[in-house]
Amino acid sequence: MDLRRTFFYELYHSNRRLLLLIMIFLGWAAFSAWTKFELTPVYNWNMFAVPAKEHSSYDVVTVEANGKALETGQSWHYFSDMVLTHTAAEYLVLKDSNYRIPEYRSVKAAGRKLGLDMNRFEEKIHPGSADIDSYPDWIRRYLAARGQNTAGIRLRQYSVCYTDSGTLQLRTTKTWY
């Protein structure tokens, strides 16, 4: 093997600063992987290395007007539909968790690892109950601005699971406002 033709050899002779930068990055990434401490949320070695968890049930949220589910189309094509379905699901999560963001526990744990006191940020991070309770009025204004019927708006949350035969089974249904 001719080492004079390798990338690092050529880089050493042409741009030593870039080589140093790449070596520092590789060392930093190796240290991060070895200690299992992610130094940044952007560059994450194990982002796709963990198998997906199998859930016992899945929640599906629909927005209904006058007892009929609103057509959301393919939400990956329509940003406005994605906003509608995402905010409705987040609203229900926050209502169920007593107005606390469930993922905040992992942020708090990361802050403790870095020696930060995250308790003083807690009230600034979590939305207030008044903010969350104003969501029904917001969704009515949002749908009216899109030209949709806003009479009898309801959020319906379906909890479904897969049976042993592979079919979907409805477990529970919750209706909100």
Question: 1 and 70 in one domain?
Answer: no
Question: 156 and 97 in one domain?
Answer: yes
Q: pTM to 2 decimals? A: 0.56
Do 6 and 19 form a contact (C-beta atoms < 8 A)?
Answer: no
Give Cα 128 to chain centroid, integer Å. Answer: 20
Give the tokens for residue 37. 């401490």
Question: 83 and 148 in one domain?
Answer: yes
Q: What's residue 43's pLDDT?
A: 56
Question: 111 and 38 in one domain?
Answer: no
pLDDT lower than 70: segments of the chain = 1-3, 38-52, 72-81, 102-107, 120-126
Beta-bridged to residue 158, according to DSSP, are 60, 173
Do 91 and 155 form a contact (C-beta atoms < 8 A)?
Answer: yes
As for how many domains the chain has, the answer is 2
Do 133 and 171 form a contact (C-beta atoms < 8 A)?
Answer: no
Q: Which structural domain range is residue 148 located in?
A: 58-176
Question: 168 and 88 in one domain?
Answer: yes
Question: 95 and 26 in one domain?
Answer: no
Whole-angstrom Cα distance, residue 63 to residue 149?
Answer: 12
